[in-house]
Structure 1
Amino acid sequence: MATAGKVIKCRAAVAWEPNAPLVIEEIEVGPPHEGEIRIKIVASSLCHTEMFHLFEGKDKRGFPTVLGHEGAGVVESVGPGVPDFKPGDKVIPSSVAHCGECRFCKSPKTNLCERSWVNYHVDLMSYPTTRFTCRGQPILQFTSTGTFSEYIVINQIYVVKIDDDAPLDRVCLLGCGVTTGYGAAVNTAGVTPGSVCAVFGLGAVGLAAVMGCKNAGASRIFAVDINEQKFEKAKVFGATDFLNPKAYDKPISEVLAELTNGGVDFSLECVGNPEVSRAALESCIKGWGVSVLVGYTDVDFSARPIQLISGKTWKGTLVGGYKIKDSLPKLVNDYMTGKIMLDEFITHRMDLEQINDAINLMKTGQWYISHCIIISG
């Protein structure tokens, strides 16, 4: 392409500081260095992790930054030492690395990677090195990606090549949220046929967890949320029962225990709230119940030791336990063959200039699924 090796000027939504609106700026995106890929972002969805960083985390060391980590696009150019990608390839950039060489990547037990930004720069939620500049200063790329920009540069260990026919404005959802919830059910929890499940929180991640429980063969799936307007959408993804914790004068764990003869086999907490995390654990049946922490928070949580001594298992998951290079192409294929849903997650289609409107919708809970598509290019 004519832009290869040159600095590209493009639009991006820059977060200059926490707790402030994003600003649409013209930024400079440098050419890719050794092992890097420059991608033209076609579509990016909005995830609550951006909300955490911008409004809840408020760590000033992570600013200024370009948010966004659920994108899809087309390779514009590659740097030296990138044998597996070429201009024109359709790709999904991920916030989870997969170098394929470290002890974690070589183990079937985890999808962690030693080279991931999260192991070294969790305070920034980014690598300190960036190819973005604006107004003469470097701009961080949130979770190594920064997909609220028309172009990004990212290390090849974060990039997955996908089917040429994949619709980028839908498979971008697989960059984090849908993959996280779905994988939490089928991989981390290991939901079994005929089992009883409870999913706490019906944002996009929770709905994906419901879909995972259904596809794994669960016989009964409780959808738990304080917003009853979400229940109809949860039914689309496979939920069979619906509970609003505020409708009861007892803990929701006791309600579930009464309805299931002692508790559910699997529970998935998709909110990122320590009180909900404990309620999800306590909703599991003793002896073999498994509860998975899916929602992100940095707040401490606790439980009574007897909960675990009695045989329950409490687990966490990162992007559903999927090794991205191996799994994302398969998930794209599963969508294209009708095995998983993506279109049903989309509530809004908005231009990049409307990014603050989109954030407002999520922040105030004015849409039911906590997901929209931001069309960037």
Structure 2
Amino acid sequence: MATAGQVIKCKAAVAWEPRKPLSIEEVDVAPPKAHEVRIKVVATGVCHTDWKYLYEAGTAMKLRPFPLVLGHEAAGIVESVGPQVTQFAPGDKVIPLFLPFCHECAQCKSSKTNICKKNWENTQAGVLADGTSRISCRGQQVYQFLGVSSFCQYTVVPDTSLAKIEPSAPLDKVCLLGCGVSTGYGAAVQTGKVEKDSTCAVFGLGAVGLAAVMGCKAVMAKRIIGVDINPEKFEKAKQFGATDCINPKDYNKPIQEVLVEMTNGGVDYALECVGRPSIMSAALESTREGCGTCVIAGWTEADTMSVQIIKILMGRTLKGTYFGGWKSVKDVPKLVEKYMQKKLKLDEFITHNLSLGQINAAFELLTNGQSIRTVISLEDS
């Protein structure tokens, strides 16, 4: 493309400091360096994790460096590639990923884990492999959230953190596979390995939770109980496959006790999709003695959760999952194919479509529980 090798000026939503609204700014996006790819971001989802890192910075979430461009759930088109990039070419449709897959490390070669740590410390700190960001504004560096920063019309990502997808895929839908849907769906089918005819409880009915419900239904679980304090989410949950929905506020006892009574001893699988330690503990305690499994999918950087040791000694399994257990670059294209084959829902998660200039409104919708996923279009912003 004509812009290859040049700095691109474009719009981005910049977080200048924690707990403040994002500001739409003109930014400079530098060309990609070795093993990097610059992409034109077409669409991005607004994930609750973006909100957490902005509004819970320094409390439930570690303080990231600012100024910062958030966004990590996106899809776009390759604009140019840096030296030594062999797997991508301008025009490719792609999904950037906050979890790399380098093909070379022990974790990537193992069938037991998806946790590749290529460039991990740098991307967690908001920079790429050389210790700097490719985005700048008003003469200063702007950090890249998780090495992605999709609230920007162009961004640069490592070639180990990018999945090439089929050309016919609609980018304003498959962007959701960059985080929330993949995480929840994988928590059920990949990490939890939920079984046919089992009984499940899904804690939290946001995008991750609804995807977990979808995963439980896909493997033909017999009973899927959705748990949320917002009853307005119940109808949507049932569309995804929930057989029951309960609100903890409707009971005068802990929700785990309610679930144990409802299921005559506890659920076979509990999927925690909120990211709060107290709910993680409740999820574990809702599982059946001897064989119950609890999967923690909700993200938090809180230090501890409370675990009654007797609950583990009595045969329960407690598992964590990151990005649903998927090997990112390898598995995301397969999830795109499942969507294209109508074996995976995505459209149904999208409740709002907005422009980049409306990004703060998208956060408000999320905070007020009015949206499942808002998709931001960056092409016409």
TM-score range, shorter chain: over 0.9
5+ residue gaps, structure 2: none
Counterpart position of 1:362: 366
Give a deviation string over 1:164-185, Cα, whole Å, max 9, x none. Answer: 0000000000000000000000
Measured in 1, the distance between the counterparts of 2:166 and 2:65 equals: 34
Counterpart position of 2:25: 25
5+ residue gaps, structure 1: none
Counterpart position of 1:274: 277
Aligned partner of residue 354 in structure 1, secondary structure: helix
How far did residue 81 of structure 1 move? 0.7
Counterpart position of 2:312: 308
Structure 1 residue 376 and structure 2 residue 381: aligned? no
Counterpart position of 2:55: 55
Query: When the two structures are superposed, what TM-score results if normalisation uses the length of structure 1?
Result: 0.97
Q: Aligned-pair RMSD on alpha carbons?
A: 1.1
Give a deviation string over 1:159-206, Cα, whole Å, max 9, x none. Answer: 000000000000000000000000000011110001000000000000
Letter in structure 2 aligned against 1:41: V
Percent identity for Structure 1 against Structure 2: 56
Give a deviation string over 1:241-297, Cα, whole Å, max 9, x none. Answer: 111111111111111111111000000010011111111000000101000111111
Aligned partner of residue 143 in structure 1, secondary structure: helix
Measured in 2, the distance between the counterparts of 1:289 and 1:126 equals: 41
Alignment match of 1:152 (pick from 148, 155, 158): 155
Aligned partner of residue 11 in structure 2, secondary structure: strand
Letter in structure 1 aligned against 2:11: R
Q: Are the equivalent residues in 2 in contact too, given 1:96–1:116 (CA < 8 A)?
A: no
Q: Are the equivalent residues in 2 in contact too, given 1:348–1:372 (CA < 8 A)?
A: yes
Give a deviation string over 1:198-255, Cα, whole Å, max 9, x none. Answer: 0000000000000000001101000000111100000110000111111111111111
Aligned partner of residue 105 in structure 1, secondary structure: helix
Q: Are the equivalent residues in 1 in contact too, given 2:355–2:376 (CA < 8 A)?
A: yes
Counterpart position of 1:89: 92
Letter in structure 2 aligned against 1:235: K
Q: Are the equivalent residues in 1 in contact too, given 2:186–2:326 (CA < 8 A)?
A: yes
CA 1:148 to 1:331, structure 2 compared with 1: closer, same or farther past 3 Å? same
How far did residue 114 of structure 1 move? 2.4
Alignment match of 1:318 (pick from 311, 315, 322): 322
Aligned partner of residue 57 in structure 1, secondary structure: coil
Query: When the two structures are superposed, what TM-score results if normalisation uses the length of structure 2?
Result: 0.96
How far did residue 302 of structure 1 move? 1.3
Q: Are the equivalent residues in 1 in contact too, given 2:50–2:70 (CA < 8 A)?
A: yes
Counterpart position of 1:343: 347
Aligned partner of residue 185 in structure 2, secondary structure: helix
Q: Are the equivalent residues in 1 in contact too, given 2:365–2:371 (CA < 8 A)?
A: no
Q: Are the equivalent residues in 1 in contact too, given 2:44–2:172 (CA < 8 A)?
A: yes
Measured in 2, the distance between the counterparts of 1:164 and 1:114 equals: 29
**Structure 1 segment 61-80 matched on structure 2, within 5 A:** 61-80=64-83
Measured in 2, the distance between the counterparts of 1:125 and 1:14 equals: 13
Q: Are the equivalent residues in 1 in contact too, given 2:42–2:77 (CA < 8 A)?
A: yes
Give a deviation string over 1:80-112, Cα, whole Å, max 9, x none. Answer: 111111000000001000011011111111111
Q: Are the equivalent residues in 2 in contact too, given 1:17–1:60 (CA < 8 A)?
A: no
Letter in structure 2 aligned against 1:359: F
Measured in 2, the distance between the counterparts of 1:185 and 1:276 equals: 17
Count of residues paired in the alignment: 373
Aligned partner of residue 56 in structure 2, secondary structure: helix
Aligned partner of residue 261 in structure 2, secondary structure: helix
**Structure 1 segment 71-220 matched on structure 2, within 5 A:** 71-117=74-120, 119=121, 122=124, 124=125, 127=128, 128-220=131-223
How far did residue 71 of structure 1 move? 0.5
Letter in structure 2 aligned against 1:216: V
Measured in 2, the distance between the counterparts of 1:75 and 1:92 equals: 10
Aligned partner of residue 108 in structure 2, secondary structure: coil
Q: Are the equivalent residues in 2 in contact too, given 1:62–1:126 (CA < 8 A)?
A: no
Letter in structure 1 aligned against 2:273: C
Give a deviation string over 1:11-32, Cα, whole Å, max 9, x none. Answer: 0000011000101010000001
Q: Are the equivalent residues in 2 in contact too, given 1:27–1:133 (CA < 8 A)?
A: yes
Q: Which moved more, 1:187-196 or 1:253-262?
A: 253-262
Alignment match of 1:224 (pick from 218, 222, 227): 227
Counterpart position of 2:258: 255
Aligned partner of residue 92 in structure 1, secondary structure: strand
Q: Are the equivalent residues in 1 in contact too, given 2:57–2:64 (CA < 8 A)?
A: no
How far did residue 62 of structure 1 move? 2.0
Q: Are the equivalent residues in 2 in contact too, given 1:229–1:368 (CA < 8 A)?
A: no
Alignment match of 1:245 (pick from 215, 240, 248): 248
Aligned partner of residue 348 in structure 1, secondary structure: strand
How far did residue 364 of structure 1 move? 2.5
